[in-house]
Amino acid sequence: MAAREREFVIGFDADDTLWHNESIFEATHEGFRALLAQYHDAATVDRTLLATEMRNLELYGYGVKGFTLSTIETAIELTAGKISADEIMQIIGRGQEMLAHPVELLEGVAETLSDLAQRHRLIVITKGDLRDQERKLAKSGLIEHFDHIEIISEKDEAAYAKILRRQSIEPGRFVMVGNSLKSDILPVLGLGGVGVHIPYHVTWAAEHVEHVPLAAGRFYRLGTVRELGEVVRALR
């Protein structure tokens, strides 16, 4: 452990960094558009649902359960209460299917973590529903690679700073890997750490960031997690 402690500590986001997630939401979202197609066009459904989700974040937090409640609320609003009990049950059913969906790792994740864990402390820092995130971690087969797991309600500078203090990690020796510039990269760069952005092919609208951060030597954008080992070796 002494040798590993002298290396960088590497943090990983979970959803859409270790395994597929947003594509599951998008498939459910597509079904929701179809359900309400007789009432409104897709753009109106998308805009209203996003506004509802953002309004409810403080109450429900992130994850499938909050998303499902927001879709029900949106359906009632956009149909002026005409949505049927059977259609609401369809929405609930889709939410349950999401919660039971198999965990599908992104290509190269298992091998990359196995390699990095031999030389570095690895931790998970993810947000979302506690029970669902615990389920996915347990089914992922990846837990053995991680020294610590944090499931938090929000990922901002204050949250990261608290975790780094609690884990005795110097910000300058911390690397955060994730698919979201807003949640995974910018807060860590703000603390003086290193951010490695690996974009996922679908990004939730609430996670979009207009500009790529400027942090020479501390910000990297990769095409695949398989490139991560080379970046970390270069940092050393």
Kindly indicate the confidence band of residue 217, based on its pLDDT and cuts at 50, 70 and 90. Answer: confident
Kindly indicate the confidence band of residue 203, based on its pLDDT and cuts at 50, 70 and 90. Answer: confident
In the chain, what are the domain boundaries? 2-19+103-235, 22-99
Question: How do residues 36-74 score in pLDDT, each as one tens digit?
Answer: 999 999 999 999 999 999 999 999 999 999 999 999 999
Q: DSSP character for 225?
A: G
pLDDT for residue 47: 96
Question: How do residues 90-142 score in pLDDT, each as one tens digit?
Answer: 999 999 999 999 999 999 999 999 999 999 999 999 999 999 999 999 999 99
pLDDT for residue 206: 80
Q: DSSP character for 101?
A: P
Return d(Cα 220, Cα 222) in angstroms, integer.
6
pLDDT for residue 211: 74
pTM given for the model: 0.92
CB 126 within 8 A of CB 151: yes
pLDDT for residue 212: 73
Return d(Cα 215, Cα 101) in angstroms, integer.
37
pLDDT for residue 111: 97
Kindly indicate the confidence band of residue 1, based on its pLDDT and cuts at 50, 70 and 90. Answer: very low
Decide which of 111 and 209 is more confident.
111
Question: How do residues 136-177 score in pLDDT, each as one tens digit?
Answer: 999 999 999 999 999 999 999 999 999 999 999 999 999 999
Return d(Cα 143, Cα 133) in angstroms, integer.
12
What pairs with residue 127 in β-bridges?
Answer: 152
CB 195 within 8 A of CB 186: yes
Q: Which fold has domain 2-19+103-235?
A: Rossmann fold (3.40.50)
CATH architecture, range 22-99:
Orthogonal Bundle (1.10)
* pLDDT of 10 over the 50 cut: yes
Give the HSE-up count for residue 232: Cα atoms under 13 Å, Cβ half-sphere: 25
Return d(Cα 110, Cα 162) in angstroms, integer.
28
CB 179 within 8 A of CB 204: no
Kindly indicate the confidence band of residue 6, based on its pLDDT and cuts at 50, 70 and 90. Answer: low
